[in-house]
Amino acid sequence: MDKREKIRDELLNWDNTVRKRKITLSNPVFIKGLALAPLAIAATSLKNSIILSIAVVLMLTPTRVITSLITRKMSVPLKTFYYPLTSAVVFGFAYYLMYRMMGTTAFSLGVYLPILVVDPLIVKNFEKTRKESFKYSIINGLRNTGGFVVACLLLGTVRELLAAGTIGGVQIMKVSLLPMAQHSFGGFLIIGIISALWKMCIGSYHDRLEREVAAHE
């Protein structure tokens, strides 16, 4: 398939293209608005963002895979119970692994780490009535995980730079451009701004594809 055919295929199957590109076109944070509370409140620095990202890496895909296996013949009300239950069990193992890796640093986010257990990012899939294959649960889980990690690290880096003038504790600027970036209000504000810019970029990308197809017709 040459470039022109690939672009035309992307446009004709735009919904499918968006669904597959969880990092860019359907980012779980900036497009779907998932995990906003933990990010707006806890992702105030690159360090905190790394901790949150590790937790989601250890939780999201395993929770999705396990529940896809044990809830295949269950109704949505039963899935509503088993998804957070599975998430809580997986979180217990994830928390232990994080403690082994980083000691008490794993506890530095307080309640905003365990709150991931019931966050839509982890448990939203229970509302789907169709069966999800084992392979698809892994693929989609990894895609969502990748999208969250990118958004989390970007947000933490931007907030730390604006609030403290540092990135990962390294001094970049001597001026604090936006001190409120370290607070929850500033977190929600920055998420909103990045989300708006993100959607503008997606719109521009879609328009560019349309212009390229039109130019070859």
Q: How far apart are CA 79 and CA 59, in angstroms?
A: 17
Question: Out of 4-8, 34-38, 93-97, 207-211, which region has the weakest mean confidence (pLDDT)?
Answer: 4-8
Average pLDDT, the chain: 89
Exposed/middle/buried for residue 17 (C-beta within 10 Å: 0-12, 13-18, 19+) = middle
Q: How confident is the model at residue 210 (pLDDT cuts 50, 70, 90)?
A: confident
Rounded to the nearest 10 degrees, the angle between the axes of helix 134-164 and helix 184-215 is 120
Q: How far apart are CA 183 and CA 98, in angstroms?
A: 25
Mean pLDDT of the 130-148 span:
86
* pTM for the model: 0.91
Tens-place pLDDT, residues 49-91: 999 999 999 999 999 899 888 877 777 677 778 888 999 999 9
Q: How far apart are CA 192 and CA 198, in angstroms?
A: 10
Q: Is the pLDDT of residue 127 over 90?
A: no
Q: How confident is the model at residue 112 (pLDDT cuts 50, 70, 90)?
A: confident
Q: Which is nearest to 182 in space by CA: 154, 163, 166, 195?
A: 163
Q: Which two tokens stand for residue 161?
A: 């730079």
Q: Is the pLDDT of residue 102 over 60?
A: yes
Residue reference for tokens 């810019």: 197
Exposed/middle/buried for residue 208 (C-beta within 10 Å: 0-12, 13-18, 19+) = exposed
